Structure 1
Amino acid sequence: METQKLIIHFILLLLIPCSSSFTPIDNYLLNCGSQNNASLFNRIFMSDSTNQGSTFLSADKSISLINRNPHADLHTLYHTARVFPSTGSYKFSLRKNGTHFVRFHFSPFKAQGFDLTSANFSVLVDGNLVLTNFKPGSGALLKEFILKVGSNFLEIVFRPEGNLGFGFVNAMEVFTAPDDFVIDYGTRLVGPFGVVEYKNLSYQVLETIHRINVGGVKVTPFNDSLWRTWIPDEGFLVFKDAAKPVVSTHTPNYQKGGATREIAPDNVYMTAQEMNKDRSIIASQFNITWDFPVAPGGVRHLVRLHFSDIVSRALSLLYFDVYINGYSAYKDLDLSSLAFHVLASPVYVDFVTDSDDLGVIRISVSPSELSSSRGMNAILNGAEVMKLVNVVDSHVVHRKKRLWVLLVGSIVGGVVILLLVIAAFLLALKCRKKKKKPKQRAVENVGWTPLRFYGGSSLSRLSEGTALNSPGSYGYFGLRIPFADIQSATNNFDRSLIIGTGGFGMVYKGVLKDNVKVAVKRGMPGSRQGLPEFQTEITILSKIRHRHLVSLVGYCEENSEMILVYEYVEKGPLKKHLYGSGRNEPLSWKQRLEICIGAARGLHYLHTGFARGIIHRDIKSTNILLDENHVAKVADFGLSRSGPCIDETHVSTGVKGSFGYLDPEYFRRQQLTDKSDVYSFGVVLFEVLCARPAVDPQLDREQVNLAEWALAWQKKGMLEHIIDPYLVGKIKQSSLKKFGETAEKCLAEYGVDRPTIGAVLWNLEYALQLQETDQEGESYDDSSALEPVNVTTTIIPEGPSCNIRREGDNDNGYSDMSATEVFSQLMNTEGR
C-alpha cells in the first residue's frame, strides 16, 4: 500500500504544475506582530506593524510579541504574534462584495510575560461570532472560514474572555473566493425525513473541519490554487480492505458548469478510492465507508463530495449510491449525466446534514441496483466537511433586522408610490375619455389590468358590455393586507387548512372578510430565506392580470412575516389530475389540450407582454393550477427573471429550476432565455400525455427521465405505446402526431432550435382542431414562417396568439373572439 502511494505521489509531482492560476480581487495577507514581511508558499505576508499595515489595525492597546527561541522547524510566520489584552480589531476595505476566505494562523509560544497557550478569546468576522471562548492550546493551528460579505469593508474583532483572558493571532488571510464557489441551488439536505433542497447556502458562515484527498497523498497549498491543504483519507476509512486506490495519468476534463481547479485541484480529481473487488468481502460490508469526527449533538454541516470517473472505460457504466449517516443521500448516481456526458470530467455535489450524538459524520458509497453484475463499482475522489456557523451577536441581529425592515419598507414604499402615479394617470385618462365618449361600453386593448381591478381572474370576470368590477373591501391599493385579517381568514393558520407546501413555506386555504376564497402562502416566520422570491412575486404579479396567470390578491410583511395571498384556484395543481395516489377523475384528451393551450397562453403573455419579457424559470405541472372549469393558470413566480434587453441574446444568471424540467443548455452555460421555459413546457406536454412524473427513480434506468424516454419513442414514431392507458383509443392519430412533434421541438438540445411559445401555442390549437374535426387533416412544418394556408391578405408571424397584445388582445382572456376560433377559420376548410 505504501509503495503504491509513493508511486502515485511521484506521478502527480511530475504531472501537476506548481503554480496558481487564480488571482483574488481582494487579497490581504498579514504577518501579525512583526516588523518584517514573510513568504509562505510563494505568497508575501505583509507586516501589520508598517505604515501600510497599520491602516488595517484598529487596536490601540495591542502588543507585538516576538518568540526569541523558536523551534528550528517553525516557519518565520509563526515567530511573532499580535496580542490583544483588550478588544481590538482589523478592518479591510473590499473591492468586491461576495464570498471571501478568512484564515487565522495560531502557533502559541511564551514571551514577555505572556503564555499564549493560556489565551482565551472570541473572534467575530463581519459581526458573525466564529470562535467562542477559543483556547488554541499548543502547536500550530489553522482556522478557515468562508462567508459572504455584503458591504465594502470587513471587520475582524478579537475579544478577550474572562478576567485574565486575552487574544492573539500570528497571521491572517482575507481574500476573495472564486465566483460561485458556494451556490444557493442544488444542495441536498439529508436526514431521517429524506432528501430535500437546502436553499441560501451562501448566506451561511462555513468553518472548514476536514479536507480530504481520497485515494491520494497530501496536497500542500503550493499545489492548490486557493492555497489549501488536502490530507489522505486512509485514517478515516472504516474498513480498509473494502477500498482500493486508483490513479489517472490524464489531467481532468473540466467542463463549463462543472467543477473547476478552484473547487478542487487536479490532484484530487486524478485519484480516488474504488471498490476492492480483489478481496473476498462479505456482501453486507461491500461498500466504502469513512468516519469523520465533528462537533457532536446534531450540529449542522456541509459535506461536499468530489467525483471524477477515472475508473470506467466508457460512459454510462458507473452507477452507485451515496449514504450520509446511514441515510440515502443520492440514489443511482450517474456521473455520465452529471458530468455532461464527458468521461473523467470533475463534478461535485453539496449535502447538508447533522452530526450524530457521538460527533461523527459517516459517508458511504456502494454499487447501485442499476449496476450490472460485472460493472458493480463505486468511487469517491475527494471530501470536504464544513460546519455551519450560525451564532451571531444580538446587536448584529438587531442591525441586520433593521436593514431588512428598511429594505422591505423601501420596496413596498416604492411600489405604493408607483401605484399612486399609475392610478392618478388612469383616473385622469378615464375622465378625459368620458368627456369625449360618455357612452363608452368597455375597456379596450388592455395590455395588463391595473391593480385597482380584479379582472382576468376568478375574483371577477369581464364579459361583453360590462366594465371591470370594483375593487374589493381592501380598497384601491388593496395589495397590503393586515396580518390580523390573514389570521382570521386561516383560522390562525389552522393545519387542517393546509393545501400545499413548497420551498417557500406552507400554503393555506382561507376566506377573507369579503368572502373571497384565497390561497395564503406563508414563509417561515422570522426567516430571511425566501426573501428574494417574496419580493419577486410581488414585483411580477403586481404588474400583471391575465386569465391564465394566478392573480395576487395581496401580501403581508408585518412582524417579520412574509405572506403572499393569491386567488384560490379550486381544483389545484395539474399534477394531481394526471397521476399519483391522489389522482382525480382522469382528464379527457380535449381537456388536456385545452389546459396546455391555456398554460401556453399565460406563458406567451409573460414572454411578450413587456419590453424585456418575463422568464418564469420554474414551469412544471405543480405550477399549473386548474380552476373549477379546468381553466389553466400558471403560478409561482418566485424564480422569475426579466428577459434580455433588446440588444442581448440571454441573461447570465445562476441556475434555478426543478429536476427533470431544467433546460440542459441553461444548466451548462448558465445563460437564460425564454427558450428555457419552452424546454420545461415540453416536459409538461409529455407529462400530460403519459401521465407520469418528469423523474421517477423507481423505474428502469431508460425510463427514469421522462423527456429522454418519451423522445426516444417519439423519434421511433411509436408514441402511442407510452401514452396514459386512459387515453388509449381516444386520441386521433393526427392530433397525437402534431402534439408529439410539438413536444419534441420544445425539447431540442439547443435553444435556437426550439420554437417560441407562440409557435407552440399555434401547434397545440391545431392539435385540438385535428381532434375535434372529422377530417384527419395534413400536418405542416411551422418551425419558421408559420403560414399554414395560402392566405395572402392575412400575415400572422407566429400564429394568432402572437397578435394577442397588438391586435385584439386575444391572449388576455377578454377578447370577443378566442384564438381557437380565429384558428378554425384559417385551418378548417369549412371555416374558410
Structure 2
Amino acid sequence: MLRLSLTIIVLLLLTSITTYATPVYIPTDRFLLNCGSLSNSTSPDGRNWLSDFEPKLAPNLSHSTPSIAAEQAPSIPLVPYMTARVFNSQFTYTFPVSYGPKFIRLYFYPSSYSNLDKTRSYFAVTANMYTLLTNFSAFLTTLSLQPTQFSVVKEFVINVQGSQWLNITFVPVTNSYAFINGIEIISMPNNLYYNNPSPPRLVSIDLTEFDVDFNVAFETVYRLNVGGQSVSGPDDTGMFRSWLQDDQYLYGNSGQTPPKSNVTIQYTAETPPYTAPDIVYRSSRTMGSDPYINLQNNLSWIFQVDSGFYYLLRLHFCEYQLEVTKPNYRVFSIYINNQTAEISADVILWSGGSRIPVFRDYVVSLISDNDEMKKVDLWLQLHPYVDVHPYNWDAILNGLEIFKLNQSDGNLGGPNPEPSKVSNESSPHPRKETTSESQSSPMRAIIGATVGGVLAIVGVTVFCFFQILRRRRSTNKDLRITSAAKSSWVPFSFTSWQTKTSNSSLPSHLCRRFTLLEIRMATGDFDESFVIGTGGFGNVYKGVMDSGMTTVAIKRLDQASNQGAKEFLNEIELLSELRHIHLVSLIGYCDEDGEMILVYEYMPHGTLRSSLYKTRNPPLSWKQRLQICIGAARGLQYLHTGAKHMIIHRDVKSTNILLNVKWMAKVSDFGLSRFGPTQFDHTHVTTAVKGSLGYVDPEYYRRRRLTEKSDVYSFGVVLFEVLCARPAIDPNLPQERISLTEWARRNYLNGTLDQIVDPNLKGKIIPDCLKKFGEIAESCVRDRGIERPTMTDVVWGLEFALQLQESAEKTGSGSGLVYVVADSYGTPARPSTSGWVTTSTENDALFGSDEDGSNTRSTITRTEESCGDRANKSCDHDCVFSEILDPKAR
C-alpha cells in the first residue's frame, strides 16, 4: 500500500491531468512547473502546474530565490506568471524523460522580483548540448511585441538521446540575474518534424534535399493559423501548441478568408491527425475571386527573424471547399525571400483529393558573409501559376510554421530585438518602473539621452537629404511618360506614369519597389566609388540592401542616354513575370523624383565578355565555357518555348550574358525584347531593326522580319566569341578579320577552325568536341533563318559536345592535356514535346557593362572607321545597343 501511494504521488508530481476530451496525441512525458510557487496550482486552460520545490528536479534550490511579481497586468494569468524563481548564479533543473523529441517552453513575465530592476536581467539558457538563449532580455523582448502583450513564451524542439535526462540550465550574465516563471516539457511524435518521408527542400540553385536528422534543434519562431482565429491549449492536438492569427504579418493586399467549413478533415499516414488541428485545415487565406486582380498581386507575409541561421518553413494546405475536387483547379508558385521554392503548387495533386491535408517543408538560409547577427525580414509570397491554364487563378495557404535551426555549435540564441517603444502609456496596463527612484532614474536618463541623440541624428540626416533632393530637382528635367503600350499577356498596364511623383502605377506587386532614399543609402548617394560598370543605360552601382543581407546591382538611367522609359518599362514587364534559373532576376525598381532605376542581385563574375578577354583573371577553361554556353542557351530556349508567349530577346551578346558566383550563365537586359508571332499562321513580327553591331541577324536587317531565329544567329556569334576570345567586330584588324562571324565561318568551312581558337585553349579541346561545337556555331550564323537550328537543337548539340569532352577525359584519350573542371549544373532535364521548360530556383541577378567600363555606344549606320575609336576609349557612339534606322531612339 505504501509503494502504491508513493507511485501515485510521483505520477501526480511529474504529470498534469486535464479535464478535456482525449486528444489525438497523448504525450509520453509532460512536465508543467510553476517556478517559485509554494504549491500546485491550475492555469486557466485547466492544466495542473506543479511547484518546483522538488529536490529531484531542482537539487540546489538554496542557490535561487522564489519571488512574486511586484505587478500583474490584467491580461496576464496568475499561473504560471505570478511567481518566478530568480538566479544570481548558474542553476540547473533536471528532468527524467524518455528518449525522443521534446517541446521545451519557457514562460517569462518581466516584472520586478525581489526589488530587482527588470531592465538588468540578461542571461543564457542551455538544454543538454544546445544553447537556447544567449544574453536574453525578457524585458526588451516584450517591448518589441504588441502593446498589450506583456509576457513571452519561447518554444524549442530538441531530441533527447544518449541519456534519459534533460538538463535546463540558466546562466546569468555578469552583474545581472536570471529568472523563469514557468517551464513546460512535452514529448511529441518522432516523425512530427524529424525524418519525414519527404525531406525539406533547400531553397537554392537546385532545390536539393536538406537533411533534418535527430541532431538538429529548433526554435519555434512563428506558428500561424492562416486566415483563422488563434488556436491554443486544448484546441490543439494534445501538444498544446499555439497557432496565432496571421493578420499582423500580411503585406499589401490581404486577400480573402473563405468561410470556415465543418467538413471532416481526412488525415492520412503522411499527414496524421497530430500534424495540425483540423481547425487549421478548415480555414484558409486565398487571393480572391477576381483572376485579373490576382495576377497583379502576390499573397505576401513578412516576418522578422535573426540572421545567421537556416530556417525551416512548413506550409500547411487543404482544399476543403467542396467545389475543389480535381487537379489543376488552383495552381500557384511559392517564393521564399525572393527565391522560387515551388513553381507549380497543386494541393489536390499533392494530397490526392479534397479535404485531405498536406504540408510541404522548405529550408532557407539567412547566413551572410557578415558574421554580425541582426534582425532581418523573411518573406513568403504566393502567386498564381497560369502556364498550366488552371481553372482558378488563385493561391491558398491554411497554416504556417517557421523554425530556426541551430548553428553548427548547437546555438539557437539570437540578438535581443530593438524595442518599438520604451513605454506604452496608452495600453491598458502601462509599462512602468516599479523600483526605487534611485534605481530607475539612471535608466530613464540613458534611454532619454539615447532617444534624443537618435532624433537629432535623424533630423540632421533628413535635412541634408532634402537639401540634396532640392538641388537635384533644380537640375533634372521633368520626365513624363504617357501612353505606354500594354502587352496582351501582362495583367497590368502602365498608363500616364509621372516619374516626378511617388504615386506610380508600376508593378510593386510583382517585384519590389524601392524608395529613392533606399537607393541613395545603398549607393552612398550615387558615389562614384560604388560604380562597377557603365553602359548605354547609365552607371551600374554595387549596393547593399536589407541591413547588409543582400548585395545588389543598381542600374540608374542616365538622363543623356538614348535609352529611356520604353526600355525601362519593358525590362520590368518581362522580368517581373519570367522565372528561370538561366534568366537574370529583377529584384525591384525605383521610379521616384524623375529617376528610373532597376535593382538586381549582384553577379560577382560580371559579363561573359569581361571573362573572355581583357581580363586579369585566369582564363576560363573549355569546360567552363561549354557549361556557360549551355546555360545561356537554356535561358533563350525558355524564352522561345517555355514562356506563355514566345519572347524574342533581340539583343543577345556576350555583355548580356552574366555569370554568378558559381559561373552559371544568366541572360540579361530585356529592354529590346519583343513578343513573337501571336497568331498561328504568322511566322514573324515586322518591326524596326534593333540590336548590337556584329550580332544582328542579316535577314532581320534586310527584311525587317523578326523571328526567334534572329536570337539563334546572335547566339552563334557568341559561340564563336567564346571559342576565339575576341570581339564580334574589331576594326583594328585586317579587313578579312574585322567580322568575327565571317572570319570564323570561313575557317570552319576550310577545316582550319583549330587555328583561330583562343591561345589559352590550345591543346585542351578534344578534336571531336571542337568539330561538334564548330558545327553548332556555323549552323547558327547561316544567312537564312530557315537553315538555322532552334534553341532546343542548340542546347542538345552543346550538351553532346560537353559529353564528348568529358568522355574523352574519362577514357584517357585526352591524356597529357590539362583540364580545369568547373562546377556542374546537375542532371539535365529532358525536353518535352513542347520544348524545354525549366523553373527558377535562384534569383541571382546582375550587373552588365562593357569590359572597359566606357559608354561605347553607336549605331550600325555609322562607319566602321568611326567606331574604330572604341579601342582608344574615345568613341561616344552607341555601339552596344543600337537603333539601326533611327539613331535618335535607342
| TM-score (structure 2 length as normaliser) | 0.42
TM-score for both structures, normalised by structure 1: 0.44
**Higher RCO (CA-CA < 8 Å; seq separation 6+):** 2
